[in-house]
């Protein structure tokens, strides 16, 4: 069983719902050949990104990666949201978050990849 629980958050599902409506309106605009509907649908899609970002920063989104099983519930608020999540682009854009201190391999300039186990069996 995987330890990942990506996307099962209030922020994720709210953003998905709003983006779906915006995509449907933009698609309707394409079928109706209406630049107004297309622009309106695209504006709703942009609004979905902003709403998802705000919900993530307020603790209703979770960081990427492995989380303890107790934090898998959709209604569990993330306690780390105020400090920011390590490696989270959303948090970095808001001026939060900690950058990962990864050193390149000496002499090559290449940053090594980290192995991540996908299940407890590995």
* pTM tops 0.95: no
The answer to which of 44-53, 72-81, 98-107 has the lowest mean pLDDT is 98-107
- Is residue 108's pLDDT more than 70? no
Tally of CA atoms within 13 A in the half-sphere of 87 that contains its CB: 8
Q: Which of 53, 51, 42, 88 is nearest to 67 (CA)?
A: 88
pLDDT: which is higher, 32 or 85 = 32
pLDDT band for position 2 (cuts 50, 70, 90): low
pLDDT at 93: 82
pLDDT the model gives residue 121:
60
The residue among 89 and 18 whose pLDDT is bigger is: 18
Find where tokens 């995509």 sit: 23
What is the structure's pLDDT at 103? 55
Cβ atoms of 22 and 41 within 8 Å: the answer is: yes
Highest mean pLDDT among 38-42, 66-70, 90-94: 38-42
């Amino acid at each position: 069983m995987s330890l990942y629980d990506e996307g099962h958050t209030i922020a994720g599902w709210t953003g998905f719902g709003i983006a779906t409506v915006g995509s449907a309106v933009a698609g309707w605009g394409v079928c109706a050949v209406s630049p107004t509907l297309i622009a309106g649908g695209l504006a709703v899609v942009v609004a979905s990104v902003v709403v998802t970002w705000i919900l993530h920063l307020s603790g209703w989104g979770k960081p990427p990666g492995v989380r303890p099983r107790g934090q898998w519930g959709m209604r569990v608020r993330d306690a780390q949201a105020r400090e920011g999540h390590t490696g989270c682009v959303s948090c970095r854009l808001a001026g939060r978050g900690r950058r990962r201190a990864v050193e390149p391999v000496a002499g090559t300039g290449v940053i090594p990849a980290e192995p991540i186990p996908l299940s407890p069996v590995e």
